[in-house]
Structure formats: structure tokens, C-alpha cells
Structure 1
Amino acid sequence: MVYPKKFDWEKLQSFCSKIFVKAGVSKENADIVAESLIMADLRGVDSHGVVRTAIYLERIEKKMIDPLAVPEIESQDFATALLNGNNNLGAVVGTKAVEIALEKAKDRGAAIVGVKGSNHFGTGAYYALKAMEKNMILLVMSNASQTMPPTGGKRPFIGTNPLAVGVPAGKETPFLLDMATSVVARGKIIVAAQKGIEIPIGWAIDKKGRSTTDPEEALEGAVLPLGGPKGYAISMFIDILSGVLTGAGFGKYVYNMYENWEQPQNVGHLFIALDIERFMPIEVFKNRMDCYIKELKAEPKSEGVDEILIPGELEFRKVEERKQHGIELPKKVVSELDQIGKRYSINLLDAVICEIEEREEMNEC
């Protein structure tokens, strides 16, 4: 079979949702997980897109994730809450936490929601976008399993613990920071390994602590902190707030979803929501943001630079491009999804963009 490369985002999202339903996830929650994965692919963050479908399913099938669990609030007061995800899918738990944070922030001006008992929750941007739709500012952080050494070490101890911040604007592109605290997200190394391509020097070290461009060696070793000691320190404070503070796992007690088949991950998250209208009318704020962004982008440019961009701007453009022209997937990912579809009697080819050239042994769209 010649594998297609491009897929309609809505049909691919529907395919993923149907797969999760067949695996025992409720339709509502399956839609959340599928939307989270497709949003990552649309934004060009392929390391957190449908490439994660197989591992999510495997952990469900091997009882490492409980798709029927109901996340519950263990404690709360005026502006805080602690949510126990009870080992449901990370995107489901994260979405519930955001709903609580936004509701509390609307009533009280600000809210902090800690999460324990969760799993890999996708991209922080997914949640920040939900807040921006409600004219809220959201800070999102999560810990992760051991993939990064402390500065001076050679063995992984902390995760590539991500941080995301979303701030709405008016007519200008909103500010949306979504970053790992490593030089690069480990998922990008996984994608490089799947594509069989080298990674840049400085991304990772092998298990002996030596720099490597081999993604397989990097996956056996460790990714490196962004900015050396600074990235290490940021990752550590995220682990403290997301893990130590919430009662979730931290350090070596956040279990690797690819390697540990004995225990749930017990990932921790922290969501901080701010209601802009407690500071000024939303339209005034958006006008001020537009002014700020316009003036920043109008700054003199360095030689060879065509445009000054703000965090998230390239990803917003990528969303529009991929919605129009399709999501391109590596052959290995297509093959994996195709096999999953056959296992659950759902046809992946239904999500193919019709304008592809390769037709050999394929049904017409």
C-alpha cells in the first residue's frame, strides 16, 4: 500500500474520537482527547498530536488508564481547588480543571487549581485557548516523567515540564506561549526517531552523558534543559508546584507512560486563571494589547529578518494553513493509525484529503 500523507483535520479528529469510543471512552471524553491531539497537529506541534494515539490506547487497554473514572474535587475554597483525576486521560482531567479554574476566576477574579492523579495531558496551549475564548488569562504547567538531568548530572531526574501562558488580544494575534523547559520537547525526538532522521547537536545526551545526534541514543539518554541552569530551575519549580504541592508524583515518582506498565503515571498540573475585567474593561485591555503588539512588531529588524513575530504567531498561521490544506503525517504514523483503525473496524482512509496524488491500492475518497 502507498500511504497517503495528508488528512482532513475534521475527519481525522472524528476517526480518533471513534477509536477512543471503541476503546471504552465516553463519546464526550473521546471528543475532548481527539480535539486535543488534532489541535496539536494543526498548530504544528506534531510531537503531541495523533502520534500519541497509540500509546494512549495501549495504556487504556492494559488498564494503566481508567477511561471511566470521574475526576473529583478533593478540596476547595474561595479561589482554589484540588482536583483528583482518578487516573483518567490527561486531556479529560485537564479540561475539567480548566472549567473549574475559569468558573472560579469569573466569580472571584483569580483562581488556582491543582491536579493530581492525571496522565499526559497534551499541549498546554489547548487549555490556554479555552481560557482566551472566555477573555481570561491562563497559566498552565505540568510535570512529566524523568527525561532531563539536573544541571551537572547525566541521568534523567526531572521532566521536560511544560509551561503555557495565553493572553487574548483584539484584532492582533493573541500572545500564546507554549514551551517545554528542555531545549526541545522529547516528543520531537520521538518523531525524529520515527522519521529516521538525526537531531541537532545540543538537544540531548546519550546514556553516558555524551552529546548525540542519534534520536534513538537520545531516547535512551536525556534531553537537555533550555538555557542550562535556568531551564533546569524552571523545570524544578514546575515540578514543585505541579507535583509536590498537589500530592501528585514528582521527580522519579512521575512514571513514564512508555516504559512503566505497573503503575499509573500520577502526573500533576497547575492552572492559574485571571479575569481581565477585574483590572479593566475587556475591550480596553484588548486595545492595549493590540497597541503593545503593533509597536513591538514595528521595531527595527535585524539584517535578514523579514518580520518580528510574537509567541504563538507561527502556530496560529499553521492552524489556518493546515485546516485549508490538510495535516501531513509521517508514513510510520499513518501505518500505525491504519492498523489501529483495522483493529477497531474504523477506516482511516475516510479521513484522507482527496487531492493527494497517491491512489495505488486505495479507495476513492
Structure 2
Amino acid sequence: MDSIRYDWKRLEEVAAELFEKVGVSERHAQTVAQSLVHADLRGIESHGLSRLPIYLSRIKAGVLSLREAPEIVRQDGAAALVDGKNQLGAVIGQTALELAMSLARQTGIGFVGVRHSNHFGSCSFYAEKAIEKGLILLVLSNAPESMAPTGGIRPFFGTNPIAIGIPAGQEAPFLLDMATSVVARGKIALAAKKGEQIPEDWAIDPDGNPTTDPQRALLGSLLPIGGAKGYGLAMFIDILCGLLTGAASGPAVQSLYDNWTHPQNIGHVFLTIDIQRFWPLTVFQSRMDEYIREIKSVPKRAGIEEILIPGEIERRKMIEQQANGVKLSAAIAQELEQLCVEYSVDWSKVKIHD
């Protein structure tokens, strides 16, 4: 079988227990485990539990600082700067999100920059939390070099993701979560792990030629989404997340996989908006519902059954997998099971769905 289903809550428990085995506090372990399973629930396997082994390896290697706590080093009005102190990325991200939401409640808007962070999982993890609180969230992050500027053949920027979450009422919320490259680098790494080919328009090899070989792509460079437009957006995100916050930028952002001596020093930005400074939340949600229904009523091209809004496919996937179990590829499940054996964690308690 290519994949089987697992109970998502028990996957969270197993992942948290594995983190605790290497010294992560119970609270922090739960946060990181939730962020990883969240990605798998949404069908974003590249940012899910496939990342757990590298997180554990970096913790064991002492590249992260588990005993440090993220610190608010500057705050003035609606703006704040958080030093992540090289903690686990999801822990830092959760701290920054909570601060940004608090500032938005106080002032109408919250702008929180983050430096000295690590890979913090899927941006949608934070966007969904803001949506649940009735807030609009824009979250940005830079990342290790993997994408060349337009016209170049050597990586300079990361995939530099952006996510925007906006609540609706009865309709699904707007949740755009995307890399500024054609595809996230994690998907290419996952294809390499599975021994699969990749589409020709995802990346170029070290000589600048299109490639379907994920190994050659990992040695080469990802391509920006929309050509020069994606390049410009990636540069903007790097400026805000790196130069503005004091985090690393461009090639100075360290690799999650290849650098075992220096912290990643990733930068993030969390921008929250309190809708109720403009409208009562219920009124805004009704307006969003009407707006979404208008979009969905646009005449469809031949062969198209339904017009979907950003995040709707992933939301449906999450609802389905919460009910029926999370699909994990055999390669990832085997890796997790081996880790459970290594750290004496009970893998059998993860319920398998037929």
C-alpha cells in the first residue's frame, strides 16, 4: 500500500512524546507536534511529520537552544520585535502570534517581527489560529537559499512563504498559504525520498537546465512562481523578515539539513488586524459569505465542476482526515516507527484505519 491512515490525535501524542524524549518540555513538544500533524491533516506532507526526524536530529546535535525562551526585546505601540533565542520554530511562532493577536486587540493592528528562529512549520498553522479568534493574519518567513533570482542559476533566496488568513461565517475562510517558488523545497526532498520524478517546471539543475530529477533539483535551484513576479515577492519577504528584524537574509540563512554548527537564524513577520475596528465581526463574516458565494457563482469553464477559494481544498482534506484518519506514505510511516523503536515510544497506540 502506498499509504495507510492513522488517528491524528494519537499521531500528535506520539510526536510529542518523541520530542520529550530528547529534552523538549511537555508544552513545547505539544505545540511542535500539533504544527506538524496540522500540515499532514491539510495534505501538505512536505511540512508534516516528514520533518520530525530532522527536528530530532538537530535537537540531539545541540544546534537548537531548548532551555531558552523567546524574548520580546522591543515593543512600541502596535509594533514589537521578538528574539526567538534559537528555540524550536513552532514555539517561537506561537509566541509571536499570541503577541500579535494581543496587540491587535489593544490597538487594532499588531506587527511582530521575529529574529533568531528556526523552521516553524506550515504558515497555515498560525493563520488558522488567528481565524479562530476572528482576526485577519498575514504571516511571512524567509528560508534557507534554494531559489535563484530571475536570470540566475545559483540559489540566493529561500522559498520565502506567505500566508493570509481571513475569517468568514458559514463559508470556508480565505486561507492562502504559498511558497514564492513554484513548489516548496520540501516537496522536492519528499520526491527524492520516495524515488519519484518531479515536473519539469519546478526547478533547474546546477547548470541552469530544467530537470525532472529531484536529486539534481536539490543541487540546483527552485524556480520562482510567476517568473520575475515571484522573485520580487521573495525579495520583499526577505527584506521584511531578514533585514528589518535583524535575522539572517539571502544565503546567510542556514540550512535545516546541511548546517550542523550554526543556528538557522530565520526571520518571520506576523501582521494581525482586528476586524471589529472596522465592522462588527458578524457583519464582516456575512459580507465575506456573500462575497465568496458571488465568486462561486461565476460561470465555469468546460469541465470545471466548482470554483474553489484559496485554502478550501486543504480545509476539506483536513475535515475528511480528522474523521477518517491521516494518510501517511509508507516511507514516512516506516521512518516514524523506527524512531519510536529507537526512543522506546509505543507506536502501536497509533490507531490504523482500514
Which TM-score band (shorter chain)? over 0.9
Which residue does the alignment assign to 2:45?
Answer: 46
Tell whether the 8 Å contact from 1:158 to 1:251 is kept in structure 2 after alignment. Answer: yes
What residue number does 1:363 align with? none
C-alpha distance in structure 1 between counterparts of 2:320 and 2:3, whole Å: 18
Name 2:343's counterpart in structure 1.
344
Q: Matches of 2:83 and 2:228 in 1, distance apart? A: 32
Asked whether the 8 Å contact 2:97–2:126 carries over to 1, the reply is: yes
Quick check: 1:26–1:68 contact (8 Å CA) kept in 2?
no
8 Å contact from structure 2 (residues 143, 266) kept in 1? yes
Tell me what 2:121 maps to. 122
SS in 1 for 2:27: helix
Q: CA deviation at 1:302?
A: 0.6
C-alpha separation between the residues in 2 aligned to 1:166 and 1:328?
Answer: 25
Q: Which amino acid aligns with 1:344?
A: Y
> Match for 2:10: what amino acid?
K
Structure 2 Cα separation of the partners of residues 67 and 13 of structure 1: 20
Match for 2:177: what amino acid?
A: D
Deviations 1:206-255 (A, max 9, x none): 11111000111111111100001000000000000000000000001100
Aligned twin of 1:106 = 105
Map 1:109-258 → 2, pairs under 5 A: 109-258=108-257
Secondary structure of the residue aligned to 1:272 is strand
Q: Name the residue aligned to 1:12.
A: 11
Deviation at 1:91, TM superposition (A): 0.4
Output the CA distance in 2 between the equivalents of 1:350 and 1:207. 45
For structure 2, which runs of at least 5 residues remain unmatched after alignment? none
Structure 1 stretches of 4+ moved >3 Å: none
Q: Secondary structure in 2 aligned to 1:166? A: strand
Distance in 1, matches of 2:54 and 2:46, equals 13
1:362 aligned partner:
none
8 Å CA contact 2:145, 2:253 repeated in 1? yes
Task: Tell me, yes or no, if the aligned pair for 2:3 and 2:329 is still in contact at 8 Å.
Answer: no
Which deviations, in whole Å up to 9, do the C-alpha atoms of 1:300-319 show, x marking residues without a partner? 00111000000000001000
Give 1:328's aligned residue. Answer: 327
**Take 1:19 and 1:207, find their aligned partners in 2: how far apart are those partners?**
37
* C-alpha distance in 2 between matches for 1:342 and 1:70: 30
Work out the CA distance in 2 between the residues paired with 1:3 and 1:275.
Answer: 44
Partners of 2:123 and 2:24 lie apart in 1 by 22
Distance 1:40 1:69 in 2: 26
Structure 1 residue 3 displacement after superposition: 9.7
**What letter matches 1:43 in structure 2?**
R
CA contact under 8 A between 1:198 and 1:215: conserved in structure 2?
A: yes
1:352 deviates by 3.3
Q: Which residue of 2 aligns with 1:76?
A: 75
Aligned-residue offset at 1:347:
2.0
Structure 1 counterpart SS, 2:114: strand
Cα distance in 2 for partners of 1:302, 1:218 equals 34
Partner of 1:65: 64
Matched position secondary structure for 2:147: coil
Q: Is the 8 A contact 1:136 1:275 kept in 2?
A: yes
- Provide the C-alpha distance between the structure 2 equivalents of 1:67 and 1:205, rounded to a whole number of angstroms: 37
1:307 matched residue in structure 2: 306
The alignment status of 1:290 with 2:289, answered yes or no, reads yes
- Cα RMSD of the aligned pairs, angstroms, is 1.1
User: Residue 12 of structure 2 contacts residue 34 of structure 2 at CA under 8 Å; is this kept in 1?
Assistant: yes
Q: Structure 2 vs 1, CA of residues 23 and 3 (structure 1 numbering), >3 Å: closer, same or farther?
A: farther
Shift of 1:4: 7.1
Give the Å deviation of 1:339: 1.4
